[in-house]
């Protein structure tokens, strides 16, 4: 299984910080943001990793991470020429992934849980990772019935559950055929929710509900929350 970190986008909500570097290289407590998803993949046993970024500050990732040798992995880089959505960014990795399955993580998502067992047990289809939150309308929301995912709705005004779809996904190689069949959404992008709902319709979507903390860090407020969360977790680890 290979890993992909999606670190594109313009970071317009975090301007002017993103005038000088990519959003995913901003600090979250004591590390650049991109290091958290990278370490999550490494801890899951994944050694072949691709980082997909936009054009603006792509070289900064190379300066920070290089070939990945420092981390004991091999890192490949791909450029998303223009904002086309998460699914479009994932589609850029098709040739590199070859026939393997893939773990995809958004570069601004920070997780406490390990996915090592999920990676080891994955045998096909797709898997999403859910988290109960008080404001699910800000995210994709999963509806469950009889222990199955029956629908995923993007940013609903009236969510059917409190289960947000986090920025962490697992797919078999069929995902690239699904992406090729998508039509752009109203905002002109290929949506990852449409990819996930394709797996749902085929009865091939699995899920796990996360126990630990999860945060995105794509706005000033969420970046601060993520930093405070990491600080809290670090202090808790030191006190044990």
Q: What is the pLDDT of residues 164-221, one digit of tens each?
A: 999 999 999 999 999 999 998 888 889 999 999 999 999 999 999 999 999 888 889 9
Q: Tens digit of pLDDT for each residue in 4-47? A: 999 987 678 888 988 888 899 999 999 999 999 999 999 999 99
Q: How confident is the model at residue 240 (pLDDT cuts 50, 70, 90)?
A: low
Rounded distance, CA 206 to CA 199, Å?
Answer: 9
Mean of the per-residue pLDDT values of the chain: 92
Q: Is the pTM of this model over 0.85?
A: yes
> How sure is the predictor about 233, in pLDDT bands with cuts at 50, 70 and 90?
confident
Q: CB-based contacts of 142: which residues, under 8 Å, 6+ apart? A: 128, 130, 149, 151, 152, 161, 163, 164, 165, 207
């Amino acid at each position: 299984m290979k890993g992909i970190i999606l670190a594109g986008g313009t970071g317009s909500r975090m301007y002017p910080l993103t005038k000088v570097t990519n959003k995913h290289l901003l600090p979250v407590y004591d590390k650049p943001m991109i290091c958290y998803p990278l370490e999550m993949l490494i801890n899951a046993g994944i050694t072949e990793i691709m980082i997909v970024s936009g054009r603006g500050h792509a070289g900064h990732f190379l300066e920070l991470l290089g070939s990945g040798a420092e981390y004991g992995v091999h890192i490949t880089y791909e450029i998303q020429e223009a904002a086309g959505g998460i699914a479009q960014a994932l589609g850029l990795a098709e040739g590199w992934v070859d026939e393997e399955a893939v773990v995809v993580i958004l570069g601004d998502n920070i997780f406490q849980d390990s996915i090592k067992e999920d990676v080891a047990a994955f045998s096909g289809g797709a898997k999403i990772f859910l988290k109960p939150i008080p404001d699910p309308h800000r995210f994709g929301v999963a509806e469950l019935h009889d222990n199955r995912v029956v629908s995923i709705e993007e940013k609903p005004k009236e969510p059917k559950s409190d289960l947000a779809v986090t920025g962490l996904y697992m797919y078999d190689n069929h995902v690239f055929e699904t992406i090729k069949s998508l039509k752009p959404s109203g905002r002109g992008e290929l949506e990852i929710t449409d990819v996930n709902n394709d797996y749902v319709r085929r009865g091939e979507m699995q899920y796990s509900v996360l126990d630990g903390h999860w945060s995105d860090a794509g706005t000033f407020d969420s970046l601060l929350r993520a930093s405070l969360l990491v600080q809290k977790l670090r202090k808790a680890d030191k006190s044990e």
